[in-house]
Chain A
Amino acid sequence: MSLRNTLVISAAAWTIAITALHAKLNPDSIRGLEELVSGALGKRDAAKEKFKIGFLPVTCHLTCPVTDFINQQITGHGAFEPLRFNSWPELKEAYLAGHTPATFILAPMAIALREQGVPIKIVYLGHRDGTAVMVHKDSAIYKMEDLRGRRVAVPNRYSNQRLLIFRALKQAGMTVHDIDLVEMPPPDMPAALYSKSVDAICSGEPFMGQTELDGYGRVLWLTKDVWPNFISCALAVREDVIKNRRADVQALVDGIAKSGLWLDKSMDHRMSAAKFVSKNYYMQDPRLLSFVLSKPPDRVKYTKLTPLRKDFEEIEALGRESGILKGTAHFEDYVDPSFADSATDRVEAWNFEGAKP
C-alpha cells in the first residue's frame, strides 16, 4: 500500500477508534463537549442546567462533596455538579469565564476579585479552622520567634493562610520582613518540608496532617490556637445567578449547611465522610482524611458558617496591611448573608447514616 493510503486509512481508523473508546470510558468528558457545542449553537438553557460548583480536594471544601454524595444517596441524583480543580488559578479562571456559577474560594481572593469589579458574592462559609503550621520534627522551631530568618511556605498571595502568618507574626512582635515568605501549591508542601527546603509550611488540611501522619512533620500551632474560628474558604456565587436563580442558591446553601451540621454531629459521620469522600471525590487514602477530621476533633469545624461582618472586617484589615487588598470593597459589597440567615433558622443536619451498599 502506498504511504498516502496507509496514512489516511490508519489515521482515520485510529481517530474514530480512540474517540469511540474515549466516549465509552470517559462519558463525562464527552458530555462537557456536547454542552459546549450546544452552548455555541445557542441551544443551551443555562437556567435549567445543574449548577456547577468549583472545589479543590481540601478539607476547607469538604462540605461540597459531602453534600453531593448525600444528595445522591437520598434522592438518587445530585442537585448540583461539583467540579474538582487541582489548583487555585484554574478554579478562579473557570469562575471568571462563567463556567462555574458558584465556587469555593479563598476569602481574601473573593474580596480582591470584588475590588477588581468581578460580580462575586460570598453566600456562606466553607468551614472554620482547619489550617496548621507544620515544621520538621527534627527542627529546633518551637515558637513563632524561632522562625526568624527561616523560610515559610503559604499557598497563595490571596490565601488567608498568608494573612494568618501576618497575624501570628504580629502577635509575636515580628513583621513579615523577619521571615522569608514563599508561595507554593499545597500539594508540593509536604515534600518540600520533608526535604527541608522550607522550614515551615502553612496550608489547609489534609496536606498538613499528611506530614504528621507520615512521621516527619510536627504541629507548630493549629489555627484554633492563634486565630480561633479562622476562615480560609467561602462559598461564592455570581451576582447574576443570585438574582436569577435564588431558589437554587438557597437549596445549595441549605445543602452545605446540612452537611456541616451532619459532619459536626458525630465522629461516626466524619469517619463515614472520610471514607466516601476519599474514595469518590479526592482519590486519597481514607486514613488521611480520617486523621485530620479526628486528631483533634476541633482541628476543622463545619458549623457556625454564616458569614459575619466582624470576621470579614478583620480579614479586610489584615489584607490591607499585607498589601493584597486596597480596601475599596466592604462587607455589604462582597457578602450576601440572606441565604445563610434563612438557612440558619430552618436547616437541620442530614438524616443520613452511612452509604447504601
Chain B
Amino acid sequence: MRDETSPAVGKGAGAWLQFALPVAVAALFLLAWDAAVRATHSEIFPRPIDVARGIGELIQKGLLLKYIVASLFRVTWGFGLAVLVGVPFGLFLGWFGRAYQAFNPMIQIFRPISPIAWIPVAILWFGITDLAPIFLIFLASVFPIAVSATAAVQNMQPVYLRAAQNFGLSRGELFRRVIFPSCLPQIITGLRIALGIAWLVVVAAEMIAVNSGLGYLIIDARNAGKRYDLVVAGMVMIGLIGLVLDLLVRRLETFDEVRWGYANRR
C-alpha cells in the first residue's frame, strides 16, 4: 500500500516528491485560508498565524502536552478495550453462523448511535471521571472492529479450511494457525478505521466535565470569549495527531503476516 511513484519519475525525484507534494498542498491550503480570512475581514475566524500563536501560548502555559496526553490516554484505553472485546467477539460471530444471526441485528442497532447520545448514560454510570469519555470512545470503536473481524472470517477462502482439515489440525490449531492469520489483514484494516473513529470522537467524549484534553480545549475555548484561535488550534492538533496515528497503524501493514493480504494490490 506504499505510495508508488509513477514510472516516468526517477527514484531520487520520487522520494523527494513524496515529501514535497503533501507539503505543497498543505502550504497552498494555509495560503488560501489566510487569503479567505483577510478577504472577508472576519473578526471571528482566526488566520493561520493567530492559530500558530495560540498553539505557542498553549505550549508556554504547559497546557498543550497536558491536553495531548489526556486525550491520548482516553483514546488508548477506550480503543484498547474495544480491540480486546471487539476482535474476539467478531471472530466468534464470524465463525458461528447462529451466533451471528442472533447478535448481528443488535450490533447494527447500536452501531449508528452517536457517542453524543450516550453522554447522559456515561455520566450516570461513570460520573465525571475519565471513565466516561473512555466508555464513549470504546462504544464508538468497538462496533467497527467487531464487524470487520466478523466479515474477515466470513470472507475467508474455503480452500484454507479444507487444506487445514486435510492436515488434521485440531480446533485450537486451526484457529491459531489458519483462521486468525488469514483474517489478520482485514482485521488490521478494521482497526485502522476504528482508530480513526476513536480519535474522531475525542471532542464529543470530552464534552463531559473533564478538565483536560484536546476536545476539552475546543469546548473550553468556545466558552472563553473570542478565542477561536484556540478552537482551531485544537482542531489542528487533533488533525496532526490523527495523521501520526494513521502512519503508525499503516506500519503494521508492512509486516509479512499482513502484507500477503494486499499482495494482489502491489
Contacts and interface: CB of A to CB of B under 8 A. Distances in A.
A65 to B, nearest CB: 13
Contact of A32 (B72, B130, B224): B130
A30 B124 CA distance: 18
Interface stretch (B29-37, B143-151, B167-175, B205-213): B205-213
Contact of A26 (B70, B77, B124, B221): B70
A288 B225 CA distance: 7
A333 B207 CA distance: 32
B189 interface: no
A55 B212 CA distance: 17
Contact of B124 (A93, A195, A206): A93
Interface in B207-243: 207-212, 219-228
B123 A22 contact: no
A337 interface: no
A18 B76 contact: yes
A210 B219 contact: no
B76 A15 contact: yes
A97 B43 contact: no
A214 B226 contact: yes
Q: Is the interface of B mostly helix, strand, loop or mixed?
A: helix
Contacts of B73: 18-19, 21-22, 26
B164 interface: no
B56 interface: no
B128 A94 contact: yes
Nearest to A22: B73
A87 B207 contact: yes
Given A3-B258, A18-B72, A32 B223 contact: no
Interface residues on B, range: 35 or more
Interface residues on A, range: 35 or more
A2 B257 CA distance: 8
Interface string B113-127: 000000110011011
A340 to B, nearest CB: 27
Interface string A71-88: 000000000000111110
Contacts of B220: 86, 283
13 contacts: A2-B255, A3-B256, A21-B69, A25-B66, A29-B212, A36-B127, A56-B223, A83-B128, A99-B128, A190-B226, A283-B220, A284-B227, A285-B224
Given A85-B209, A89-B120, 17 more contacts: A3-B258, A7-B252, A15-B80, A21-B73, A25-B65, A25-B70, A29-B130, A57-B224, A84-B209, A90-B123, A90-B207, A97-B124, A194-B43, A206-B225, A210-B225, A282-B224, A283-B220
Interface of B: 43-44, 65-66, 69-70, 72-73, 76-77, 80, 119-120, 123-124, 126-131, 184, 207-212, 219-228, 252, 255-258
The 9 closest A-B pairs by CB, nearest first: A32-B129, A22-B73, A187-B222, A3-B255, A3-B257, A99-B127, A284-B224, A93-B123, A25-B66
